[in-house]
Chain A
Amino acid sequence: MTDTTEATEATSEAADGRAPTRRSLIGWGGAGLALGAAAAGGAVAMARTGNDVDPTAAETGAAVAFHGTHQAGIATAVQDRLHFAAFDVKTDDRAEFVQLLKDWTEAARRITAGHTVGEGAYGGLAEAPPDDTGEALGLKPSRLTLTIGFGPSLFDKFGLKDQRPEALVDLPKFPGDNLEQARSNGDLCIQACADDPQVAVHAIRNLARIGFGKVAIRWSQLGFGKTSSTTPDAQTPRNLMGFKDGTRNIAGTETDRLKKFVWVGEGDGPDWMAGGSYLVARRIRMNIETWDRTSLQEQEDVFGRDKGEGAPVGKAKERDKPFLKAMKPDAHVRLAHPDSNDGATILRRGYSFTDGTDGLGRLEAGLFFLAYQRDVRKGFIPVQRNLSRLDALNEYIQHVSSAVFAVPPGVRDKDDWWGRALFSKEA
């Protein structure tokens, strides 16, 4: 079997690199097509190996393994598109909620492998709505990852109070925050990332549908144009301000830094979080129009890098080590750098967003910031405290929503489910 998917430590029965298409597996037609697709896929993969061509996972639309020590969607090479949803829990029945987590896990296992939900999108009982909504039929898995997180408010429910991790703190109010409550927080979140936006939206839509009555979507956000890469060899993406973003981000292959800064360790506590991470999500609105009227010099001063190459002040190349003292004291890169924050380092995985325009004709655009870390108190909080007080960029941005989640470890195998370690504890 050829391996066209990225290397992960996990194995998945579906992620065989053959990029199955999302055909319903129900009915004669569906079965024949699926068989045909699998056979054809195998042939293509072999031909590619024969030619010694190694297409990237994005080009093949391959599946990312769902099972693993850690959840996919964190250290995974960043996909192009995002649909992020926060949910509120609507049931007070613990068993019902646990069943939902199991049902969600099963659906996630299928969708990430490129299959339909349940019994498919057609071919079932004519009197019933199909289990799957169908818009992803024929699309490839597109490296879809689905990552679940538990918000602080979840621990007020189901007798979970004692299980709330100390590191899952409520974020303090930072200067300049203008947070919209209806778009902030949430008992749960699901981050769907894929190279095809329709695949990401299909995933959230179907999971939300499975959840009706048990959970309800509180808010959701679409994102495009990944703003931080976890693959340093690839070209660094640019944010909507036109600057390269994430040059010195933690790479998915940097096992040591991931272990030190991203994954919750065995002794960090609580036990059920070992192998997990903490996620901070912030919707950062950009004042696009005023930024665009800002001189190039000021733009570069604000970031501390040049706009074309992305080199730090005084350096020639993007990846040259920044000399922070050469930058202005209020430069964004200088203030956000680990050296300015006692070494605090986070893994950024944000996306740009443009939700049309606001009532004043301004682009409703910005950065949907997503950051993973081992401990929010040693990651996002000190960095943001520093930035919110001093950053020259604050003139052009505003944080308008905020949420924090405990992201449990990965689903190990087909019998495991999201949150098992947490919910298997005595209430």
Chain B
Amino acid sequence: MRAVRLSVVTAAATAAALAAVTGCTEKSDAKGGDAIQVTAADSTCDTSAKSVPAGQVTLKIENKGSKATEVEIVFPDDRIVSEKENIGPGTKYTLTAEVKAGSYEIACRPGMKGHGVRQKLTVTGGKVAKRDPRLDKAVAAYREYAQTQADETLPKAEAFAKAIKAGDIEAAKKEFATSRLGWERTEPVAESFGDIDPKVDVREDGLEDGQDPAKDWTGWHRLEKSLWQDKKIGDREKELADQLVKDLTDWKERVGKAEITPTSMANGAKELLDEVATGKVTGEEDRYSHTDLSDFKGNVEGAQEAYELLKPVAKENDAALTTELDKQFTALNTLLDKYRTDKTSYDFTSYDKVGDADRKELSDAVNALAEPLSKLAAAVVK
């Protein structure tokens, strides 16, 4: 009987939670459960409401035009939430969909082609984001950090490029890992631009079928392979060194425009640990140079920076979580220090010299930190 009893209790608790949410919900011009009348014609698309509460949304569609039409609810980026195709002239159809809060459009596509005629639809509900000045400050500070990392990376990348262009393999090898640190610390921000990461940080196995490594593979890891495996610098490598600096300059100029929220900061910290867990602990990231531990450290530092900025708010909401995170960050950093003699240097043990048992220990420490870190976002927005 326990299952039943529990259900009732949780249902009641959920009801209370729902009521609390309703208290701070935006106004909608249609009530929950009310259908939106959609009158489609050959060149018009009239809707009876412009906003509805989140949840089940019902469209009562009537095609008054002369052509078959298609009616869709679409996201701002044109992804379709729900659709009904082939609604004949003079016929009616009821379309229902589960829609979360956000901005949408209702599209009528007479003749079932083209952009169609569109009406805005705002779906309201959920918590209205309350602005916490401390979080605004944290975001601003993190943006500054991300900018500083990009700014400081440029001269290092230029030094790396310079060594390559001088044909100096040994000098270039020395600059390789340090040129990556700022990137590794703030990778989720850089990756949010989408197009830069594949140019500067892709590995050979990241290429698709049909892409030619000789032409399409660019960035750090392509040069890493030349320096450590092929042991030669040719004209192509010199070109790629310039290209790397150019792409990183693009990154530097765009950091200021990155969309950063407290949630994306917290999740970005977790993603940095994901990077460690999937790429660095396995030794896949820097497979030619084996400088994985330097990238590893950069990822952890970047995650810790985001965490420290969010900590005052997170601690208020979940003190046990921040205590655990403090402990696990310290544990992981202490463990990493075993792999360098000078704590101010990023000169770590070559990862091919790190045995299986030690890699397991690193992996356990990453899991120990990443698991509570995955709860940071919730603790920040609570």
Kindly state the separation between the CA atoms of A128 and B371 in the bound complex, as whole angstroms: 11
A267 contacts the other chain (Cβ, under 8 Å)? Answer: no
Give a binary string over A15-58; 1 marks a CB under 8 Å from any B CB, 0 the rest. 01010100001111011001101100000000000000000000
CA distance A21 to B334 in the complex (A): 45
- Given the known inter-chain contacts A90-B364, A115-B3, please indicate yes or no for A212 contacting B10, CB distance below 8 A: no
Contact B356 A25 (CB under 8 A): no
B window 330-382: CB within 8 A of A:
356-357, 360, 364, 367-372, 374-375, 377-378, 380-382
Among B10, B324, B377: residue with most chain A CB under 10 A: B10
- Chain B interface residue number, banded: 20 to 34
Q: Which residues of A contact B2 (CB under 8 A)?
A: 13-14, 16, 113
Instruction: Decide: A25 near B324, CB < 8 A? Known: A125-B378, A212-B368, A216-B368.
Output: no
Q: CB-nearest residue of chain B relative to A35?
A: B7
Nearest-neighbour CB distance to chain A for B251, whole angstroms, equals: 27
Chain A residues numbered 1-19 whose CB sits less than 8 Å from any CB in chain B: 13-14, 16, 18
In the complex where A28-B11, A127-B378 touch, is A216 in contact with B6 (Cβ < 8 A)? no
Q: Which of A31, A114, A209, A212 contacts B14 (CB 8 A)?
A: A31
Are A26 and B1 also in contact (CB < 8 A) when A125-B378, A128-B374, A216-B368 are?
A: no
Q: How far is the CB of A319 from chain B (nearest CB, A)?
A: 41
In terms of DSSP, what is the predominant structure of the interface of chain B? helix
Interface of A is mostly: loop
Contacts of B324 in A (CB 8 A): 213
CB within 8 A of B4: which of A28, A38, A129, A212? A38
Decide if A34 touches B7 in the complex (CB within 8 Å): yes
How far apart are the CA atoms of A212 and B367 in the complex, in Å?
A: 6
**In the complex the two chains form, what is the Cα distance from A90 to B364 in whole Å?**
9
| Contact with A25, one of B6, B364, B370 (Cβ below 8 angstroms) | B6
Contacts of A14 in B (CB 8 A): 2-3
Q: How far is the CA of A113 from the CA of B267 in the complex (A)?
A: 33
Contact of B7 among A31, A125, A209 (CB under 8 A): A31
Chain A residues closer than 8 Å to B328, beta-carbon distance: 213
Asked if A34 meets B367 with Cβ closer than 8 Å, knowing A127-B377, A129-B374, A182-B356, the reply is no
Q: A212–B263 Cα gap in the complex (Å)?
A: 23
Task: Give the docked Cα–Cα distance between A109 and B370 (Å).
Answer: 26
Whether A212 contacts B371 in the complex (CB less than 8 A), given A14-B2, A16-B1, comes out as: yes
Q: Is B128 an interface residue (CB 8 A)?
A: no
- Whether B263 lies near A25 (C-beta < 8 A) is no
- Which residues of chain A in 294-319 are interfacial with respect to chain B, using CB atoms and an 8 Å cutoff? none
What's the Cα separation between A27 and B266 when bound, in Å? Answer: 26
State how many angstroms separate the Cβ of A331 from the closest Cβ of chain B: 40
Tell me the bound Cα distance from A113 to B370 in angstroms.
29
The distance from the CB of B305 to the nearest CB of chain A, in whole angstroms, is: 20
Query: Is B377 touching A213 in the complex (CB atoms < 8 A)?
Result: no
Q: Which residues of chain B are near A216, meaning CB under 8 Å? A: 360, 364, 367-368
Q: Could you tell me which residues of chain A, from 85 to 99, have a CB within 8 Å of some CB in chain B? A: 88, 90
Chain A residue numbers with a CB within 8 Å of B10 are 25-27, 30-31
Q: Given the complex of chains A and B, what is the CA–CA distance between A213 and B377 in angstroms?
A: 19
B residues near A16, Cβ cutoff 8 Å: 1-2
Of all chain A residues, which has the CB nearest B2? A13
Within 8 A of A (CB), among B1-54: 1-4, 6-8, 10-11, 14
How far apart are A25's CB and chain B's nearest CB, in angstroms? 5
Expressed in whole angstroms, the Cα–Cα distance for A349 and B1 within the complex equals 32
The answer to whether A128 touches B7 (Cβ under 8 A) is no
| Contact of B3 with A213 in the complex, beta carbons under 8 Å | no
A26 touches B14 (CB 8 A): yes
Chain B positions 255 through 272: 1 when the CB is less than 8 Å from some CB of chain A, otherwise 0: 000000001001100000
Contact B368 A213 (CB under 8 A): yes
Given the interface pairs A31-B10, A125-B378, A127-B378, the reply to whether A38 lies near B3 with Cβ below 8 Å is yes
Contacting residues, chain B, for A35 (C-beta < 8 A) = 4, 7-8
Q: In the complex the two chains form, what is the Cα distance from A28 to B17 in whole Å?
A: 11
What is the 8 Å Cβ interface bit string for chain A, positions 102-119, against chain B (1 contact, 0 not)? 000000000001110000
Complexed CA–CA distance, A114 and B6 (Å): 13
Cβ-defined partner of B378 (8 Å) among A18, A31, A128: A128
Q: Which residues of B contact A182 (CB under 8 A)?
A: 356-357, 360
Distance A129 CA – B364 CA, assembled complex (angstroms): 20
B322 to chain A, nearest CB (A): 14
Interface set, chain A 204-230, CB cutoff 8 A to B = 209, 212-213, 216
Of all chain A residues, the one with the shortest Cβ separation from B270 is A129
- List the B side residues contacting A212 at CB < 8 Å: 367-368, 370-372
User: Looking at B6, B357, B370, which has the most chain A CB atoms within 10 Å of its CB?
Assistant: B6
In the complex, A256→B178 CA distance in Å? Answer: 70
Q: Is the CB of A213 within 8 A of B372?
A: yes
Q: Interface residues, chain B, CB within 8 Å of chain A? A: 1-4, 6-8, 10-11, 14, 263, 266-267, 324, 328, 356-357, 360, 364, 367-372, 374-375, 377-378, 380-382
The 6 closest A-B pairs by CB, nearest first: A128-B378, A213-B368, A212-B371, A216-B364, A31-B11, A31-B7
Residues on A lying within 8 angstroms of B by beta carbon are 13-14, 16, 18, 20, 25-28, 30-31, 34-35, 37-38, 88, 90, 113-115, 125, 127-129, 182, 209, 212-213, 216
Identify 19 new A-B residue pairs, CB closer than 8 A, beyond the known A34-B4, A90-B368, A212-B368.
Answer: A13-B1, A14-B3, A20-B3, A30-B7, A31-B11, A31-B14, A88-B364, A114-B3, A127-B263, A127-B267, A127-B378, A127-B380, A128-B375, A128-B378, A182-B360, A212-B371, A213-B328, A213-B371, A216-B368
